[in-house]
Structure 1
Amino acid sequence: MAGRLFASRLRPVIQIQRCGLLTVDRIGNREVVGYGYNGEPAYLDRIDFPCPAIRWKENTSDVMALREKEKGDWKKLSTEEKKALYRASFRQTFSEMEAPTGEWKGIIGLSCIIISTGVWLFLYFKVFAYPELPESFSLERRLAQLDRMKKLDMNPIDGPFARK
């Protein structure tokens, strides 16, 4: 009981130290703005979780000047400045995230290659590897075998649905 209580009180400190020490080299000069998808400072473009933990671009003098300007009246910002602010925080818009990538073309192509390889292997084995079928597989031999089975009354069908 005391171990759990002690561990639960230390967990936030350990997480802050781990995130602060291990990821400073990864995130660089970017600003941490939230909790993120899984609590680590990482950037992810996700439709189901639209708030990443850090900003997309590092803080440069241009971006910092725009951030100071955004603290004032937004009507004074031009459209290009608003777009630059958005692109400093996010890599893609929602429409860019939902846009088709064309990945299905490669999947269909690879599937066609695999299927055609299978067909060519089947034809190769059918022609070169498998032996000829025995004579008993010809149509006239099978009909003769059926006629002989009827004459010898092999495996007769008995019961109410038997035809004679």
Structure 2
Amino acid sequence: MVVPNMASRLLMSSLRHLQKIPKAGMSSGHSKIGGREVVGYGFNGQPNYVDRIDFPLPAIRFKENTPDIQALREKEKGDWRKLSLEEKKALYRASFCQTFAEMKAPTGEWKSVVGLSLIFISLSVWVYMGMKLFVYRPLPDSFTDEAKEAQLRRMIDLRVNPIDGLTSKWDYEQGKWK
């Protein structure tokens, strides 16, 4: 009974010790990476900046703090109605690189994908035609229509598989298909 108690005390003390260790760049609300503020957790817990539609809050601000931006941040703490539209846009662009509309805007990448796909398809058709012309032998004579008809006539004459096969559908008395 003494051992589990001692183990649980050791576990609890190590967990308390881990809680006191700050994560890199996440110890306080005003930590910085370079000149950029860490403002959140991020999509993977790392202090990095990524524009994502599914996780719209990056861990750090997009731009470094300059004296102009710092003055706007101080002004931002007051009444927002006193900020002009240009100042609001400058504050937004200091925190984020793109708006949602810019992230969702079509890039035209589909054109290059379709173009490359068509190039590869045309190359494969040219390779096939080259193989057919220069590598493959011509089809044997047994593939002609006359040879196929002669083979069918011979199967009927020999009564090949007369119960439920091909020649079972041939009327031998009238000489035509049933």
Q: TM-score range by the shorter chain?
A: 0.7 to 0.9
- The alignment's TM-score, normalised by the length of structure 2, stands at 0.78
Alignment of 1:4-153 (within 5 A): 5=12, 8-12=15-19, 16-17=23-24, 19=25, 27-153=33-159
Change in Cα spacing, 1:101 to 1:9, as seen in structure 2 (3 Å) is farther
Change in Cα spacing, 1:65 to 1:9, as seen in structure 2 (3 Å) is same
The one-letter code of the counterpart of 1:96 is E
Find the aligned partners of 2:22 and 2:134 in 1 and give their Cα distance: 66
The one-letter code of the counterpart of 1:151 is D
Change in Cα spacing, 1:147 to 1:128, as seen in structure 2 (3 Å) is same
Between structures 1 and 2, the one with greater helix share: 1
Find the aligned partners of 2:20 and 2:119 in 1 and give their Cα distance: 54
Structure 1 stretches lacking a partner, 5+ long: 21-25
The one-letter code of the counterpart of 1:53 is A
Q: Which has the higher contact order (CA 8 A, sep 6+)?
A: 1
The one-letter code of the counterpart of 1:80 is E
Find the aligned partners of 1:12 and 1:129 in 2 and give their Cα distance: 72
Larger radius of gyration between Structure 1 and Structure 2: 2
CA contact (8 A) 1:27 1:42 kept: no
Structure 2 stretches lacking a partner, 5+ long: 1-6, 27-31, 172-178
CA deviation vs aligned residue, 1:31-79 (integer Å, no higher than 9, x gap): 0111111111111111121111110000011110111111112111111
Find the aligned partners of 1:115 and 1:98 in 2 and give their Cα distance: 30
The one-letter code of the counterpart of 1:72 is G
Name the counterpart of 1:23: none
Number of equivalenced pairs: 156
Matched position secondary structure for 1:16: coil
Decide which moves more: 78-87 or 36-45: 36-45
Change in Cα spacing, 1:140 to 1:57, as seen in structure 2 (3 Å) is same
Moved over 2 A (4+): 1-15, 155-159
Change in Cα spacing, 1:13 to 1:125, as seen in structure 2 (3 Å) is farther
* Shift of residue 4, structure 1, vs aligned partner: 5.4
Identity of aligned residues (%): 60
The one-letter code of the counterpart of 2:87 is E
- The alignment's TM-score, normalised by the length of structure 1, stands at 0.84
